[in-house]
Amino acid sequence: MKLSKERIIKYLKNPGEIRPDCVGEVDSTNTIVKRKGLSGEPEGYLLVAESQTAGRGRLGRTFVSPANGIYMSLLLRPSCSPAEALRITPVAAVAVAEAITALSGRRAEIKWVNDIYMDGRKVCGILTESVLRTESEGLSFAVLGIGINVSEPEGGFPKEIIDIAGAIYEYKKAPENFREQLIAEIWNRFISMYRDLSDSEIPNRYRALSMMPGRAITVLSDYMSGQGREATALTVDDDFGLIVRYADGTTETLTAGDVSLRFKD
Ligand code: ATP
Ligand code: BTN
């Protein structure tokens, strides 16, 4: 069944805050919502697509976006500082992981900083893109994009992500209205945290969902060159930095955006 805007609205706690629009196939919901932001659309516009032909991840990577998923972007006009706005991605990760677990009954975990995993497979990626106001360097608006694999696409995942990707429902169809319920549950949780991004409970909720502690990882500070350094992930601090320990015993706090991570086990 196709996504229904009316059903999403029915499940939203505060329907006035999110204005959903459902479409079939688009290039990228982030690209379209960015255009909306530039033309003055107010905060709360949400575009949800059935599929994307040019879904984007971080660092110019592709997010494969076939039917049976959720591809959505929300327009935000945060009144906070640009530094505080950096919390939007981790806050969205908490909202997505908690919502998936609440509705599916299976544990969803966060791979620092912007991916959601279930049983060792990536089921969701989050990409926040900010547009700055040049005169003041303040934040003009942000586009928060979330892509979720709800059930496996027909014919399975394509070769390039077959070893990485998973779906919330691997071997069966999602229950009726699941996508609309999940969309609403994510935004219900996100909006309550977005109202106070500096709430000290949010990092605790993030840490409770983090799959990082104790994991052996490769830290790629230059993703394109593939140059990496072996480390053990320790924990995530209150600013959502990842603290890692290298083989020589030194520790470092990694900031999102600077690095890519690969699991070694
Ligand atoms: P990091 O952010 O640490 O670099 P990452 O490898 O997950 O980790 P991202 O830019 O967050 O990198 O995500 C893009 C990657 O996600 C792609 O390179 C691809 O490996 C994977 N990917 C693309 N489409 C999907 C999908 N539908 N489901 C799961 N994974 C996907
Ligand atoms: C990642 O895995 O690095 C982030 C992927 C983000 C994908 C979502 S799908 C909806 C929105 N539109 C895009 O082009 N990207 C985001």
Instruction: Name every protein residue with a CB atom under 6 angstroms from any ligand 1 atom.
Output: 57-59, 61-64, 114-115, 122, 125, 149, 161, 164-165, 260-261
Least confident of 74-88, 145-159, 218-232: 218-232
Nearest atom of ligand 2 to the alpha carbon of 72: 10
Residues of the chain above pLDDT 70, percent: 96
Domain 216-263, CATH class in plain words: mainly beta
d(CA 126, CA 231): 24
Give the predicted TM-score (pTM) of the model.
0.96
Tell me: pLDDT of 135 over 70.
no
Question: What SS3 state is found at 161?
Answer: helix
Tell me: pLDDT of 53 over 80.
yes
Mean pLDDT of 44-56: 98
Residue ranges of the domains in the chain? 5-209, 216-263
Residue 66 is given by DSSP the state: -
| Amino acid of residue 237 | D
**Each residue of 159-210: pLDDT tens digit?**
999 999 999 999 888 999 999 999 999 999 999 999 999 999 999 999 999 9
Mean pLDDT of the chain: 94
Helix (H) or strand (E) holding 191: helix 178-194
Residue 15 is given by DSSP the state: T
Q: Return the CA Rg of the chain.
A: 18
136: pLDDT confidence band, cut at 50, 70 and 90? low
Contact predicate 97/250, CB 8 Å: no
pLDDT at 258: 72
Pocket mutation for ligand 2, best pick of 52, 56, 65 (most atoms within 8 Å of C-beta): 56
Compute φ and ψ for 202, nearest 5 degrees: -65, -45
213: pLDDT confidence band, cut at 50, 70 and 90? very high
d(CA 253, CA 243): 4
Residue 251 C-alpha from the chain's centroid: 27
**Each residue of 216-225: pLDDT tens digit?**
999 998 666 6
Nearest atom of ligand 1 to the alpha carbon of 261: 3
Tokens representing residue 30 in the block: 């982030």
Residue nearest to atom 7 of ligand 2 (CA): 147
74: pLDDT confidence band, cut at 50, 70 and 90? very high
Count, residues in the chain: 265
CATH of domain 5-209: 3.30.930.10
Tokens representing residue 81 in the block: 């500082």
pLDDT at 227: 75
